């Protein structure tokens, strides 16, 4: 079986059950242009994934779906627009795990994440990979743990900033194996990755999509992936769970929300259309090529996931002394 076929079957296995359970699409929606609000800047990973999904929705709806980028404030600007906008289904929010982090990072969010939105589906997982500079003498997670235990606070790790997923994933690992490392936060993922490439900071839990070229060119060494299962793009790498820490599974992710009071039949219509789009082989391939894995779960499953992720992140931030602004 080719890698492409493997990716398609892997994603289809996740998505197919959702399709079977979806009710019929409402006949009168959408009757006009749908606004697909992305709370990331144009050209970012979240934006690119969002545009793939928006195009798929346009095909499903037979109606134009326009992407509207509203970055800033950790995604809260875009979230507020949708939370306080019309609950008619014509404005969708393409969001990321930043919003669940914001529940702990900010005291006065202009919306209530758990009550002001109707969950539609988790769109995709954006896996991370553990990379080290070649100068760090580790070739596995077991090596990393052993070195960190032997030399507490001797290993520096880079992140895209306090509260970022790269910070969160590393902190979860460090807490589970009870090691102490020094956090070096940067202003973004690009700067953090550059520090690893130069050897300034020898360790990072980095997005697969951005780290992959440097892994392939041997500028960094990849030792594990953060997801529960191995990734088709890096099938040779073990997961952290199978190589060192049982039960470890974490990833950045993207999801779709609408205003909380949107009629149930419209929520169902949008969910069915989104899951159908995510099941198309061309969309699966495009998302896989971005280093992501399509999901397409139910609104109930996504709502439960949001609640659980808020708690996980709150616990991580508390354990690491990260306080709300």
| pLDDT given for residue 134 in this prediction | 97
- The predicted structure's pLDDT at residue 5: 53
Task: Please give the average per-residue pLDDT across 115-143, as a whole number.
Answer: 96
**Helix extents (H) in the chain:** 3-21, 45-61, 76-83, 98-105, 141-150, 165-177, 189-198, 208-216, 240-243, 264-278, 281-289, 299-319
The confidence band for 23, taking pLDDT boundaries of 50, 70 and 90, is very low
Give how far the C-alpha of residue 268 lies from the chain's centroid of Cα atoms, to the nearest Å.
23
pLDDT value of residue 150: 97
179-203 residue pLDDT tens:
999 999 988 888 899 999 999 999 9
The pTM assigned to this predicted structure is: 0.78
In this predicted structure, what is the pLDDT of residue 160?
86
Residue-range domains of the chain with CATH: 3-126+252-319 (3.40.190.150), 128-243 (3.40.190.10)
Q: Which of 84-98, 116-130, 163-177 has the lowest mean pLDDT?
A: 163-177
Whether 22 has a pLDDT exceeding 50, the answer reads no
Between 28 and 276, name the one with better pLDDT: 276
If one counts every other C-beta atom within 10 angstroms of the C-beta of residue 310, the result is: 18
Is 143 a residue whose pLDDT tops 90?
yes
pLDDT of residue 232: 83
Kindly state the DSSP code that residue 33 receives in the 8-state scheme: P
DSSP code at position 29:
-
Picking from 102, 97, 100, 160, the residue whose alpha carbon sits closest to that of residue 124 is 97
pLDDT band at 325 (very low <50, low <70, confident <90, very high): low
Q: What is the pLDDT of residues 154-169, one digit of tens each?
A: 999 999 888 788 998 9
CB atoms within 10 A of CB 215: 18
Q: Is the pLDDT of residue 324 over 80?
A: no
């Amino acid at each position: 079986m080719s890698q492409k076929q493997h990716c398609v079957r892997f994603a289809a296995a996740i998505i197919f059950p959702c399709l079977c359970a979806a009710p019929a699409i409402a006949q009168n929606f959408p009757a006009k242009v749908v606004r697909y609000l992305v709370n990331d800047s144009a050209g970012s990973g979240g934006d690119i994934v969002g545009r793939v999904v928006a195009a798929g929705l346009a095909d499903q709806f037979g109606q134009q779906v326009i992407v509207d980028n509203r970055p800033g404030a950790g995604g809260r600007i875009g979230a507020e627009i949708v939370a306080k906008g019309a609950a008619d289904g014509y404005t969708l929010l393409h969001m990321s795990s930043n919003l669940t982090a914001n529940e702990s990072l900010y005291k006065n969010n202009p919306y209530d994440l758990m009550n002001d939105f109707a969950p539609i589906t988790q769109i995709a997982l954006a896996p991370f990979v553990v990379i080290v500079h070649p100068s760090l003498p580790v070739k596995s997670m077991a090596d990393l743990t052993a070195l960190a235990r032997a030399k507490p606070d001797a290993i520096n790790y880079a992140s895209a900033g306090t509260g970022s997923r790269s910070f969160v994933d590393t902190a979860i690992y460090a807490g589970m194996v009870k090691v102490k490392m020094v956090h070096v936060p940067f202003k973004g993922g690009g700067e953090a990755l550059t520090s690893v490439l130069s050897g300034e900071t020898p360790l990072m839990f980095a997005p697969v999509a951005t780290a992959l070229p440097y892994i392939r060119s041997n500028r960094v060494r990849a030792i594990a992936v953060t997801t529960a299962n191995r990734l088709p793009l890096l099938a040779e790498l073990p997961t952290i769970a199978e190589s060192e820490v049982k039960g470890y599974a974490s990833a950045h992710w993207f999801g779709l929300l609408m205003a909380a009071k949107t009629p149930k039949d419209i929520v169902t219509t949008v969910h069915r259309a989104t899951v159908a789009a995510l099941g198309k082989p061309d969309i699966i391939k495009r998302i896989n090529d971005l280093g992501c894995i399509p999901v397409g779960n139910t609104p109930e499953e996504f709502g439960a996931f949001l609640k659980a992720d808020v708690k996980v992140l709150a616990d991580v931030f508390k354990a690491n002394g990260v306080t709300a602004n």
